Amino acid sequence: MNPRTVALGLGDSVELAHVWAHHVASERGIRVLSVKGASLAHHGLRDARQSADVDVLVDPSRLDDYLAAVASAGWRERPSSYASRRFTLHSHALAHPDWPCDLDVHAYFPGFLADPQHVFDTLWERRATFPAAHRTCATPDRVAAALILALHSLRGGHRDPRHQRELDRLIEIAALTEDERRDAAVLAVDTGCAATLEDVLPRLGVDAPAAPPPDPAALQLWRGRVAARSEASYFWLTTLRAARWRDRPPIAFRAVWPSDHDLLLDHPDLRDAVWPKLRARAARVGRGLRSLPRSLRVLRRTF
């Protein structure tokens, strides 16, 4: 029989990619956990829906080994803009010409302020499994998954209304048992997300004891991001603030006037012509100016 090439649909590709991502890791003795996506519906924390990508959290000590392994199989980093290379540090978005879904490889998960290795080890020790393509894949257990979804939704809620809806839905359907609520309180303190989720945990019925954050500076950044509603102007301001003086002029220029490459990457439907690009840049400046007062207030309040 001659082999045939069959185009994968998105649903099948996501399930198979979960299994493949774990298989590659297992062959090399690398620990990985599938996060978000179908595992949340499996835990009853989110309504079932089709994901467009596969998210895996990788043992931080083996991240480079894992990225090399998937690269050897043809996965490549998606093109990134000047901004995304500075604002998105926790994950690598990978694409493959034969797979309709992306593979997002996470080095750590934003909102957990404890040491990333400690967080991963803790999540790994209490891992569960969920079914994918007639196999089982490791994933955080139900309590840990609830914290991850809450962090993810809170981080992007103001920028994308879907995240806010997911957070509201989590509060509505999680129905944590008394044991789960106690467990969540202990886990939140241990992984350093009790403070980042200080407004969400009570809504889940979780009474986490007060504890100093493991990284006060990171907590400031988190609170600033949430208060600034994830506005791009806030990210540019914090990047400028942290940069050396000699690096600030080119950063400020890119904030106001992105390159053609970055503009077309962020707006794939934009026509590559002078006037459409000029209008897009003008609209960008307008959005930045409108959001700047809030971002400046947040920056002054949190630093």
CATH architecture assigned to 10-213: 2-Layer Sandwich (3.30)
CA dihedral 79, 82, 159, 238 (to 10 degrees): 150
Q: What is the pLDDT of residue 224?
A: 86
DSSP state for residue 29 in the 8-state scheme = T
Answer yes or no: are the C-beta atoms of 148 and 140 closer than 8 Å.
yes
Can you say how many angstroms the Cα of residue 54 is from the centroid of all Cα atoms in its chain? 11
Answer yes or no: are the C-beta atoms of 240 and 251 closer than 8 Å.
yes
- pLDDT over 90 percentage in the chain: 59
Q: What is the pLDDT of residue 184?
A: 97
Q: What is the pLDDT of residue 6?
A: 64
Domain limits, CATH 3.30.460.40, in the chain: 10-213
Beta-ladder partners of 217: none
Q: What is the pLDDT of residue 1?
A: 42
Determine the 3-state secondary structure of 165 from DSSP.
helix
Answer yes or no: are the C-beta atoms of 183 and 162 closer than 8 Å.
no
* Regions of the chain with pLDDT less than 50: 1
Q: What's the pTM value of the predicted model, to 2 decimals?
A: 0.88
